[in-house]
A and B are shown apart, each in its own frame.
Chain A
Amino acid sequence: MPLKRGIGVSAGVVIGDAVVLDTEETRVPRRTVPPDEVPHEIDLVNRAFEAARTEIGPERAALAARAGNELADIFGFHERWLADPKPRKEISQLIESRLYSAAYAISVFMRKYRRRFQEMNSPYLQERAKDVLDIERRLLHHVGGEVRSELAELEQPVIIVAHDMTPTQLVMLEKTKRVLGFATDAGGSTSHTAILAAGLGIPAVVGLEDITAHVSSGDTLVIDGLHGVVVINPDPAQRAEYDTQMAHLIEVRATLDELRDVAAETRDGTKIELLGNIEFPYEIAACLEKGATGIGLFRTEFLFLQDGPMPDEDAQYEVYKAAVVAVGGRPLVIRTMDLGGDKLHAGGAWEAEKNPFLGLRSIRYSLQNLSMFRAQLRAIVRASSLGDIRVMFPLISRIMELRQAKFVLNLVMEELEESGYEFRSSIPVGVMIETPAAAICARELAQECAFMSIGTNDLIQYTLAVDRGNERVAQLYTPADPSIIRLIRGVVRDAARGGASVSLCGEMAGDPIFTILLVGLGLRTLSMSASHVPVIKKIIRSITMADAERVKRRVLSFETEREVLNYLRDETRKVWGDI
């Protein structure tokens, strides 16, 4: 019954069976190559074998020093296995006869080989299948093959345990609908795992450091997303305790669900608009179900992260059309693609950057890849004839980027008009405020756009210079830092002076601890994952504007994030004890 502590990122408790990713359930997608690329693929295989073999030597020596020769000998066997010409020959034959890609040929061969061990009678030899898997992973790493999970084949709901999750894995998981919870080694409260888990209302604990080493597939886990705790193989007493907690949570949720159809307004009648953040169009239903009055952030990256060819204008139009119809006359803010950084396309046409968060990402990428950008804008503009569509540009860091993006948008609109398309002639254009540069120059940006949305996830990471996905510094990442709160205050003021409306759409918007403060800072629109809407509405309906003013003034007097957090936690508990 070991207990592991990490960062709870999505409230809720769940008990279920674990599936550990990246160790057993990995697979490479089937891919073939044109006949003239066969020699190249075979060359890749040979080089992968060589590279894998040579990298083992030092590892073996290090292991021998630490754990003795006996364990190190296992690697000795791997080394010899990789030096054997036979496997390469068989893999090369697969490439020649079936035109498989190097990665796929390796995985097909290794899988077949692995199965032979699994079928053996001796349990000891069956175990050797793991050695085979280890060699396979090494090889795939060297051919640059994407290792995929077989998540699509999950038969019953499970808890996913992994070192970290890639966006592609998350997209695939999302489709299976068979995920009860997540536990990951890496990640902070705004890692992709955390965002997805929060969006789906799935309990998750991240930043556990070494959970993958302690859990095997099939273990029973308790994921306590509220306290950031994972219990491995709980005893009956622990189980009973968590069953009680789960029952209480269900009750609390039921009372919150009753708030769905009432307005999010303070006790003295100030209305706050609560919108939904979505990744996929079908999440719109869940947002409206939870009481959101529109979509404040439709992330469009998923379109570009899926398997297969890049979606063209028509394919995108269908998606935006489905979304705007689902929103039914309420606002739908579509954010243009925010690719790059941590969301590299799995297809691999992207060159690795040394510092992707400061590299060619987001609007910068769009402005350098105009045909892709134009296709997206054309699809959005065409869909605008069907409802209240608004366009938002991400990661603006200088006013010229906004001007260029608007220029491309206007060009696209002129083209579409000439071709006889109908669309909304005055599509509101907005910018994300997620760089310190944009926050500082918000007034000038506000004069040239209709709305601004403060993206706190990136704003915090760029302002505090903390990589939110790096568990070694993740604890330094917090929305409660006085610098962040002052930046938000400044943006809200400057937006008003420049004549733009302002909202906040980072994870901070969905964290009940910050609700009173954000209202006090002057925000009247908050956009968050569907699952947070009821709680935030509950808080708003429990306070007055005088409360919000008082809390804001007090918070602005603090010098450390500790004071801010403690104070906000107390104030929030005062208005709602069930937090």
Chain B
Amino acid sequence: MEPNDGQSEIEVTISNVQGLHARPVMRFVDLASQFQSAIEVCKGSRKVDGKSPMEMMLLEATKGTVLRLRAKGADAHRAVSALAELINSGFGEE
């Protein structure tokens, strides 16, 4: 059992130049969908479903944007760390 299971959250900063455009959103959503937990992505007071490409695109998360990733569910902790790692890696882009 990992600590805080059931709910987990973390703050990340978008580091790739083009921000969360189509391809990164695709990767993010693909990864998020592998977890059972519900994934929320918050930008300031705005909150979207991390498994919905439609909503994720609307975040307008450009380079330097701070996002809060929040997961609720059995694998919440693993989900958040995996997603944070993806964002911190810059999606393998510049």
Binding site for B on A (CB under 8 A): 73-74, 76-77, 80-81, 84-87, 113, 116-117, 120-122, 124-125, 128, 131
Cβ contact within 8 Å between A125 and B49: no
- Supposing A80-B30, A86-B49 touch, asked if A73 and B23 sit within 8 A by C-beta, the answer is yes
Within 8 Å by CB of A116, from B51, B58, B62, lies B58
**B79 on the A face (CB < 8 A):** no
CA gap between A530 and B25 in the complex, in Å: 57
Q: A80-B29, A120-B60, A122-B62 are in contact. Are A128 and B22 (CB under 8 A)?
A: yes
Write the residues of chain B forming the contact surface with A, with a CB cutoff of 8 angstroms: 18-19, 21-23, 25-26, 29-30, 49, 51-55, 57-58, 60, 62
Instruction: Pick 18 A–B contacts, CB within 8 A, sort by A.
Output: A73-B23, A74-B23, A77-B25, A77-B26, A80-B30, A84-B51, A84-B53, A86-B49, A86-B52, A86-B54, A86-B55, A113-B54, A120-B60, A122-B62, A125-B60, A125-B62, A128-B57, A131-B22
A40 to B18, CA, bound (A): 41
CA distance A125 to B57 in the complex (A): 9
**Given A73-B26, A77-B26, A80-B29, residue A124 in contact with residue B53 (CB < 8 A):** no
Are B21 and A124 in contact (CB-based, < 8 A)?
Answer: yes
Chain B residue at minimal CB-CB distance from A122: B62
B53 partner residues in chain A, CB cutoff 8 A? 77, 80-81, 84
* Interfacial chain A residues near B57, Cβ < 8 Å: 81, 117, 128
Residues of A within 8 A of B51 (CB): 84
Which residues of A have CB within 8 Å of B26? 73, 76-77, 80
Residue of B nearest to A81 (CB): B53
| Chain A proximity of B55: nearest CB distance (Å) | 6
- Compute how far the CA of A81 lies from the CA of B23 in the bound complex, rounded to whole angstroms: 12
* CA of A131 to CA of B49, assembled, Å: 20
Nearest chain A CB to B22 CB, angstrom units? 4
Contact of A121 among B18, B30, B58, B60 (CB under 8 A): B60
Question: Contacts A73-B26, A80-B29 known; A125 to B54 CB distance under 8 Å?
Answer: no
| 7 smallest beta-carbon distances between A and B, as pairs | A77-B22, A86-B52, A80-B53, A81-B53, A77-B26, A86-B54, A73-B23
A122 B60 Cβ-Cβ under 8 A: yes
Task: Give the residue among A81, A121, A128 with the most B Cβ atoms within 10 A.
Answer: A81
Within the assembled complex, what's the spacing in Å between the Cα atoms of A87 and B60?
18
Do the beta carbons of A84 and B52 come within 8 Å of each other?
Answer: yes
> B54–A84 contact, CB under 8 A?
yes
Known contacts A86-B49, A124-B21; is-contact A81 B54 (Cβ 8 Å): yes
8 further interface pairs, Cβ-Cβ under 8 Å (given A74-B23, A76-B26, A124-B18): A73-B22, A73-B23, A81-B57, A84-B52, A86-B55, A116-B58, A124-B19, A125-B60
Chain A residues contacting B49 (CB-CB under 8 Å) are: 86
List A contacts of B29 (CB < 8 A): 80
In Å, the complex CA distance between A131 and B26 comes to 14
Instruction: Tell me the bound Cα distance from A1 to B49 in angstroms.
Output: 47
Most B CB contacts (10 A, CB to CB) among A74, A80, A85, A113 go to: A80
From known contacts A76-B26, A116-B58, infer whether A125 and B21 are also in contact, taking CB-CB under 8 Å.
Answer: yes
For A73, A84, A125, the residue with the greatest tally of chain B CB atoms inside 10 Å of its CB is: A125
A122 touches B23 (CB 8 A): no
Most buried by B among A76, A77, A87, A120: A77
Report if A122-B54 is in contact (Cβ < 8 Å); known contacts: A73-B26, A80-B30.
no
Q: In the bound complex, how far is the Cα of B60 from the Cα of A407, in angstroms?
A: 69
Q: Report Cα–Cα, A128/B51, bound state, in Å.
A: 19
Please state if A122 and B52 are interface contacts (CB–CB under 8 Å).
Answer: no
Q: Which residues of A contact B62 (CB under 8 A)?
A: 121-122, 125
| A87 and B54 form a contact (CB under 8 A) | yes
User: Which of A77, A117, A121 contacts B23 (CB under 8 A)?
Assistant: A77
Nearest-neighbor residue (CB-CB) of B23 within chain A: A73
Cα–Cα, bound, A87→B54 (Å): 7
Minimal Cβ-Cβ distance residue in B for A77: B22
Q: How far is the CB of B16 from chain A (nearest CB, A)?
A: 11
CA distance A73 to B92 in the complex (A): 14
Q: Provide the residues of chain A in CB contact with B55, threshold 8 Å.
A: 86
- Distance A77 CA – B23 CA, assembled complex (angstroms): 7
Measured in the bound complex, the distance between the Cα atoms of B58 and A86 in whole Å is: 13
Residue of B nearest to A87 (CB): B54
Closest chain-B Cβ to A127's Cβ sits at a distance in Å of 9
Residues in chain B near residue A120, CB distance under 8 A: 60
Closest B residue to A69 using CB positions: B23
Within 8 Å CB of A113, what residues of B?
54, 58
Residues of A within 8 Å of B58, CB to CB, are 113, 116
Is B60 touching A128 in the complex (CB atoms < 8 A)? Answer: no
In the complex, what residues of B have CB within 8 A of residue A76's CB? 23, 26
A74–B22 contact, CB under 8 A? Answer: yes
Give bound CA distance, A117 to B51, whole Å.
19
